[in-house]
Amino acid sequence: MMIEQKHLALIDEAMRRGDPSTGNLRLCFEVLSLAAAIDRDCAARLSPHNLSEGKFVLLFLLHQLPDGLSPHELADRAGVTRATVTGLLDGLERDGFLARRQSKEDRRKVQVELSPKGKDAARALFETHTRWIASLFAGLDENDRETLSALLHRAWRNTDAGRKAALETADGEATQ
């Protein structure tokens, strides 16, 4: 069954109560179950390389940058806190994927650069990982993908994050 066991009890109770929104609950739990399955598969594919998704993202961000980035720039680009990026960088450095170096322009600053091992891993994993991700939706044609994307965006607009983004967009347009 696609829906995870933990969600079935909620659906069963909603059905027992005759809740008219049971179909919407089921659909939400299907999306959550799909996302959880993708996360588990992603972790399983990266773990043999001693990588998490967060570490992989940092490798990818550094992949095309021979001069590297500062830890705070990496945190901003990865969308994580500076504390989180520090922990990820510590693990990547310990495993030989990268090195921290003093900036050439300002010796008080640190730049993070991939090691040869990190460059090789980033190059190889980017290709295999993106092919795997793309394969998840291989049975969908262009129209299917556009329809699914539009439906997901409609649902996203009902989330707190979606409402906040809509307000920010409206506020930005109002000030122009």
What size, in residues, is the chain? 176
What one-character-per-residue DSSP string does 73-115 give? HHHHHHT--HHHHHHHHHHHHHTTSEEEEE-SS-TTSEEEEE-
> What mean pLDDT do residues 20-41 have?
94
What is the C-alpha to C-alpha distance for residues 46 and 42, in angstroms, rounded to an integer? Answer: 6
What is the C-alpha to C-alpha distance for residues 99 and 62, in angstroms, rounded to an integer? Answer: 11
Instruction: Please give the C-alpha separations between residue 19 and each of 62, 133, 164, in angstroms, as whole numbers.
Output: 50, 36, 28
pLDDT digits 0-9 by tens, 95-119: 999 999 887 777 778 899 999 999 9
Q: 53-63 and 116-135 are packed helices; what angle lies between their axes, rounded to 10 degrees?
A: 110
pLDDT, position 175: 67
pLDDT digits 0-9 by tens, 124-157: 999 999 999 999 999 999 999 999 999 999 999 9
Point out which residues pair with 114 in neighbouring strands. 98
- The token pair at 121 is 């891993």
pLDDT, position 6: 87
Q: What is the CA radius of gyration of the chain?
A: 21
